[in-house]
Amino acid sequence: MPSPGTPTLERGFIVPVGGAEKKKADRVILERFVRLCGGEEARLVVIPTASELDDTGDRYATLFEELYAEAVEVLPIQKRQDAYREDCLATLEEATGIFLTGGNQLRLSTILGGTPVAQAIRHLNADGVHVGGTSAGAAIMPEHMIAGGPSGATPRADGVILAPGLGLTNRLIVDQHFRQRDRLGRLLTAVSFNPFVIGVGLDEDTAIFLGPEGVFEVVGSGAVTVVDPTDLDFSSMDSARPGDAVSLIGMKLHVLAAGARYDIEHRKAMAPERVQD
């Protein structure tokens, strides 16, 4: 379950990005994240744990500084012991926004899972700090994380590997690089395991900005595929053998481009508002 937070404070936004977001021209996702976190008063913390490249954190710090964030700190969390350090926790406490980079989501979850840093991210988001993440950093945000699975459009009994995530929301499950890597089948499989959650497939250079009221808006150049199991009448998942295709009858699917919104509480998709000339 998400952290309950302080009753008098509004929850922070959750901003999962599908990966490969634009970093030079048309940086609409990163620009909007900085504005959300305070613009020229934004104090951002970058957590590059998922990446095995030494310069990932510094590259994002430079990007956010170019977008006029007031301060950007990179947390050098490369092993579990680092996620217990008091200086890392103190840095997080000063943040208006936290950003998790891409890489290997299992590296991210095995290093951060259950640590004081993970707990701090949950509590801070519940108390108003905005949390964004790209690729692996997007996948780990929900309670359940898609950790792997084959490509393809057909759901199969062994079509996805799940692991615990950060638990910033228990209403969504997120997949990234969605159309580019043909991941509809594994998202359908993940949703069919427990039709309580809504599946969100994020194309590259595409994000959702999920606000405290439970409505998200699509931002970026691609689309977001929403898999809604509310009206699911039948699933053969319980009787399927490993490798079998799975029947799912009554599953609803939306494809949402920039400006479209989705209400996760009422499970309602909304078209972009028309701009008047």
Active-site hit among 3, 130, 192, 204: 204
Active-site hit among 3, 31, 177, 192: 177
Sequence-distant (6+) residues with CB within 8 A of 252 are 227, 228, 229, 230, 231
Active-site hit among 3, 51, 109, 135: 135
Sequence-distant (6+) residues with CB within 8 A of 158 are 242, 243
251: amino acid identity, one letter: M
| Whether residue 135 lies in the annotated active site | yes
Of 181, 187, 205, give the one whose Cα is nearest residue 253.
187
DSSP bridge pairs for 269 = 262
Q: Over the Cα atoms of the chain, what is R_g?
A: 18
Number of neighbours of residue 31 by Cβ within 10 angstroms: 18
Cα end-to-end distance, the chain, whole Å: 45
Between the CA of residue 123 and those of 5, 79, 188, 193, 211, what are the distances in Å? 6, 22, 30, 28, 16
Active-site positions read: 135, 177, 204
